[in-house]
Amino acid sequence: MTDAPDMPPPTDSPRTTDARAPHEATTEATTVAPTEVLRGAGLSHSYAGEVKAVDGVDIELPPGELLVVIGPNGAGKSTLLKILAGLVTPEAGTIELGGRPLASLDPRSRARSLAVVPQSLRAIPEVTVRHFVLGGRYGHLDKWRRHGAVDDLAVDRALAEADVSDVGHRLLTQISGGQRQRVLIARSLAQQAATLLVDEPTNSLDPEHQIAVFSLIRRLVDKGRSALVVTHDMNLASQFAGAIALMAEGRIVASGAAGQVLRPEVLGPVYGDHLRYGTWPAPGGEGTRPYVVPWLE
């Protein structure tokens, strides 16, 4: 795993040429956009006029925060993520990134500030891992959409950071689910966006890969990015999140540190009675963190 360097001064415009000194290319390939507050206010959305998937949500993702959104199926978590990513236009509410309305950003500059890691792709492209990750550079390409040394550097670095350099030459269709999830994260790293929106990254992964994926996200946040992660896994949220937001029926019904949210009186009304609660030493050994397991008695 490669460590990220200290963050150089941010760049806020795409590269117009690659004919530059080597140190400039390296700097550009490793520069992450400045971390900005992502803020949604009064967000509401319903599909085809049915029950509201998201209902009056206020949410804020400050710089350097790992915010995990949990909630039962149909709570509106993924819809909220899509709204914050600008992929779904909400019926009501506003989204701001760094104080600017998200809708006012053109798609390419938005992609340089905000990266989405989807739960899965509608179809898995039959391309090499490296070429797939190169797709994350789209927002940085010149007007003729040419890739250059800066992009190759950024891709190398993203592959290394997500620990998938060894599968760069293989087809995306031929790697394991755990590797594919890390490749999706690698592509978002190639975007050099400071804010990551991650949708259920550990679905159908074994425990070892679940921990590897969350560890990677935690590490990225510790190095200066901010991330909003949607997941069903309350125990991973407990271990890795800075804050947890609990959604139910389109609303955020509780938020705070793991110890404040993962409690019977908070989760019970949302998930029902089949949960058992306990505590376990926190990763790193400082204090304890709650855990929650489904258990039928």
Partner 1 sequence: MAATAPTSPAPPEPRRLSPGRLGLLLGGILAVLFVYAVRSGSTGLHDWDTTWQGVSSLLGFGDPLPGSLQTIVELRLFRALVALGVGAALALSGGLLQGVFRNDLASPSIIGVSAGAALGASLAILVIGGYGPQFFLEEFAGVAPLFVSAAAFLFALGTVWLVTRLATTGGRISVPTLLLTGIALNAIISGLLAAIQSLVLQDYEVARAIISWTFGTLDDRTGYHVALIWTGVALSASVIPFVSVELDLFAGGEDDARSLGVHTQRTKNLALLSAALAAGVAVAVAGQIAFLGLTVPHLLRMLVGRGHRALLPLCLLGGPTFLLGADLAQRWLLGTGALQPGVVMSLIGGPFFLFLLVRNRAKIQAW
Which of 43, 84, 134, 221 contacts partner 1 by CB under 8 A?
Answer: 134
Q: How many CB atoms lie within 10 A of CB 264?
A: 13
Decide: 66 and 224 in contact? Cβ < 8 Å.
no
Residues contacting 131, CB < 8 A, separation 6+: none
Which of 31, 147, 223, 249 contacts partner 1 by CB under 8 A?
Answer: 147
Which of 139, 178, 201, 250 contacts partner 1 by CB under 8 A?
Answer: 139
What track of x and - describes contact with partner 1 for positions 207 through 226 (by CB under 8 A)? --------------------
Pick 119 or 255: Cβ nearer partner 1: 119
Q: Which one of 22-30, 244-252, 262-270, 272-280 is the stretch in contact with partner 1 (CB under 8 A)?
A: 22-30
Pick 3 or 106: Cβ nearer partner 1: 106
Which of 3, 6, 50, 126 contacts partner 1 by CB under 8 A?
Answer: 126
Looking only at the bridges linking them, the beta strands covering 92-97 and 100-101 are antiparallel
Q: Is 160 in the site for partner 1 (CB under 8 A)?
A: no
Which of 71, 76, 86, 290 contacts partner 1 by CB under 8 A?
Answer: 86
CA gap 38, 102 in Å, rounded? 9
Q: How many CB atoms lie within 10 A of CB 286?
A: 8
Decide: 91 and 99 in contact? Cβ < 8 Å.
no
Among candidates 220, 279, 275, which has minimal Cα distance to 246? Answer: 275
Q: Is 293 in the site for partner 1 (CB under 8 A)?
A: no
What track of x and - describes contact with partner 1 for positions 225 through 264 (by CB under 8 A)? ----------------------------------------
Q: Which helix (H) or strand (E) holds 30?
A: helix 22-30
- Angle (nearest 5°) at CA 193 between 214 and 81: 60
Decide: 135 and 159 in contact? Cβ < 8 Å.
no
Applying CB under 8 A, the residues found at the interface with partner 1 are 17-22, 24-26, 47-48, 82, 85-87, 106-112, 115-116, 118, 121-128, 130-131, 134-136, 138-139, 141-142, 144-150, 152-153, 171, 187, 191
